[in-house]
Structure 1
Amino acid sequence: MTPEADSERVPMTFEERNTWCALILVPVSTLAYFAVVIPRLLRQPAAEVAWVGPMLWSIGAVIVGTIVGSIAAAIATRDVKAETDVRDREISRHGDRLAQAIMGFGAAAVLVLAMLRADQFWIGNALFLIGAVGTTWGAVAKIRAYRGAFHG
């Protein structure tokens, strides 16, 4: 990279920083959740697996981690734009469209599970996984848009 290219770097926005937090925290907390729940599922029937507590901890960890990560990044970096501009809004819509498409198809799968009267364990975990996948891929799309040439 040439010095000129480095000096023309666009400062990271508040939205981009939060997207990075989500991109890291959602997959990590989802994997941690399944690392706790899958061994339980292997030892006992799905209807007896305690999954609600670990899921709430996982969701809470993402929320708290995003807040803490955003604050820590704001303290550590001085080149963050606080205001949201048109580009941020367009990139956010772009990533959200992908996330919503994934979650829409996933909601149909969850609806089928409900129609088949699947155990709450399977319905809850399918919805949780679909939300995590949708959020992660939406964040990937946003980061790619921030780091590449975005043409809304």
Structure 2
Amino acid sequence: MSFEEKRSWIYAVVAAAVPVAYFVTILAKVPGTDVSEIAYVGPMLTAIGVGIGAGIVLGIVAAVASPKDAGRADERDKQINRLGDYVGFYVMSICALVPLGLAMANVEQFWIANSLYLAFVLAALTSAVVKIVAYRRGL
């Protein structure tokens, strides 16, 4: 397994685990509560920070574990990375229509912010999965 594939796996796990913890925590408060009273900003910023930090730290751990592979990307790695980012961009573009529609409908900010966060999560997961599939099945 190449170092870039390891990074894609790390990215996929972090992009799945952190948002699940966030959404379980926040959405558990929705029943019986007015969403305008739910303090979601701090937990969302924390989830974003933890996701970024975990991705960096786990990437460093992977680099330390296999130092001769770290930082080595061949043409195939670059093409796979480009493909994953390309697909992730389109997923984000499509998913961003939901929070845009919610904003136009004057829906509570809670739902707009969380749907936008979910759009970013889905784009990140899709990008990582496309990269992993490309590594496993070929470009």
TM-score by length of 2: 0.92
SS at structure 1 position matched to 2:72: coil
1:25 and 1:66 in contact (8 A); partners too: yes
Amino acid at match of 2:7: N
Cα distance, 1:86 vs structure 2: 1.9
Match of 2:126 in 1: 137
Question: How do 1:10-89 residues align onto structure 2 when only pairs under 5 Å count?
Answer: 12-13=2-3, 15-78=4-67, 80-89=69-78
Q: Relative to structure 1, is the Cα distance of residues 25 and 75 closer, same or farther in structure 2, using a 3 angstrom cutoff?
A: same
Offset of residue 58 of structure 1: 0.8
1:78 to partner: Cα distance: 4.6
Aligned to 1:120: 109
Helix, strand or coil at the partner of 1:41 = coil
Q: Sequence identity, in percent?
A: 35
1:91 aligns with 2:74: no
Q: Greater Rg, structure 1 or structure 2?
A: 1
Structure 2 unaligned residues grouped into runs of 5+? none
Q: Deviations over 1:14-41 (max 9, x none)?
A: x333221110001100100011101111
Would the aligned equivalents of 1:12 and 1:79 in 2 still touch at CA under 8 Å?
no
User: What is the Cα deviation at residue 110 of structure 1?
Assistant: 1.4
* Structure 1 residues without counterparts, runs of 5 or longer: 1-10
Give the deviation of 1:77 after TM superposition: 2.6
Secondary structure of the 1:42 match is coil
Count of aligned positions: 139
Over the aligned positions, Cα root-mean-square deviation in angstroms equals: 1.5
